[in-house]
Amino acid sequence: MSIGIECPMIRENDDLPKIVVESILKSGHELNDLDVIGITESVVARSQGNYVTVTEVAQETERIFGHDATIMLYNPIYSRNRFAMILKGIARGAKKLIITMPWKDEVGNKVDHHPFTGLDYKEYYKEIVESESCECVILKTVFSEDINNPTAFNHWIMANHEKSPVSGYLDCTLHNRGYSSLSSTTYFHFYPLYTLHEYFKDKCEYGLLGSNKATEEKLKLFPSKKGASDVCSEVKKAIKEKTGKDVIVCVYGDGCYKDASSEIWEFADPITMPAYTNPELIESTPNEIKLKALIDSSASDAEVRRGLQAKEKDLKGNMKSQGTTPRLCRDLLASLMDLTSGSGDRETPVVLVKGYF
């Protein structure tokens, strides 16, 4: 069972571990050993005050690129809450932005005619940049469908770097963990290359990746590993003291699943879980036989049961596991929890998963 746990409104400086434990116990659901308690990353960062302002983003931009910089901005995500505020801060701290905009971003959002927002992100981003008194150039046709292939970008740099010099390149790719695919290409030795990890390293290992719009002048960062780990440890300890049960606790972000209709990935965070207890379980993969295949190849239910009971403890490399999805329990649980809590107004930032392990 995956159960959304209602909690009170959680604000900065609230005692989050106490709120989580009290909400779980108040819910009336009996706890067992190895039940999983998931806490959405946003309330962890909010309770710990992990915010930055747009002006602070501008100051970080000047620190990294220098004053009155011209920045080549590569591969932004097309999102009002995920990137628009970041772009606003970068524009506030720069003189000129040259933005490359492939027809589809890293998680599947289209640059124009977006199925949900209806926005043309070329025009939207240009308006944001120019509203900060920053010159904006949109390169609309630099990339083919393969956004991870910077060959055409190379050609543009080779043709323009002498007449249009830049202060540096900023690769905004979400999931490269601080490594830019541009660093291995031919022409990027002309100017420094940075990623969004370079921002606010003292507040979060992932920099601006995974950040969200909080207000028109403030962003909430992704939780730091230490901040999230501390919450997990405190909740696990308190549940043990109050109930005697040894539960698993994690902090989860986007669930890394793809919507079949819009073809958009629900994965704008750098990782699915920034912290968790019991890594020997969370980092494992399910050890499962494909039940429907076993049913089709067995003469009776009793034979199916015998096949399940005879399952080996490790099916890696065994044909009995064919057809099962080889995802980590960490990512499977994050998907389950993200779908349970939702991204809107359900008021269930904590999820209790029973019977998973």
**Mean of the per-residue pLDDT values of the chain:** 87
Is it the case that residue 178 has pLDDT exceeding 80?
A: no
- Cα 115 to Cα 81, 145, 261: the distances in Å are 16, 18, 10
Percent residues over pLDDT 90 in the chain: 59
Alpha carbons 4 and 182: distance in angstroms, whole number:
41
Does pLDDT of 317 surpass 70?
A: no
Return the CATH fold of 51-220. Rossmann fold (3.40.50)
What is the per-residue pLDDT for 144?
Answer: 47
Q: What value does the mean pLDDT take over residues 64-71? A: 94
Question: According to the model, what pLDDT value does residue 348 have?
Answer: 95
3-state helix, strand, coil in the chain (%, to 5): 35, 15, 50
Q: What is the mean pLDDT of residues 69-80?
A: 91
Task: Determine the pLDDT at residue 186.
Answer: 47
**Domains of the chain: which residue ranges?**
2-43+224-286+327-353, 51-220
Residue reference for tokens 């003189």: 95
Longest C-alpha distance within the chain, in Å?
Answer: 77
User: What is the CATH class of 2-43+224-286+327-353?
Assistant: alpha beta
Look up residue 259 and give its DSSP letter: -
Q: How far apart are CA 128 and CA 133, in angstroms?
A: 9
Residue 184 is predicted with a pLDDT of: 53
Query: What confidence tens digit (pLDDT) does each residue in 235-292 have?
Result: 999 999 999 999 999 999 998 888 888 888 888 999 999 999 999 999 988 877 778 7
Alpha-carbon Rg for the chain, nearest whole angstrom, is: 23
22 pLDDT more than 80: yes
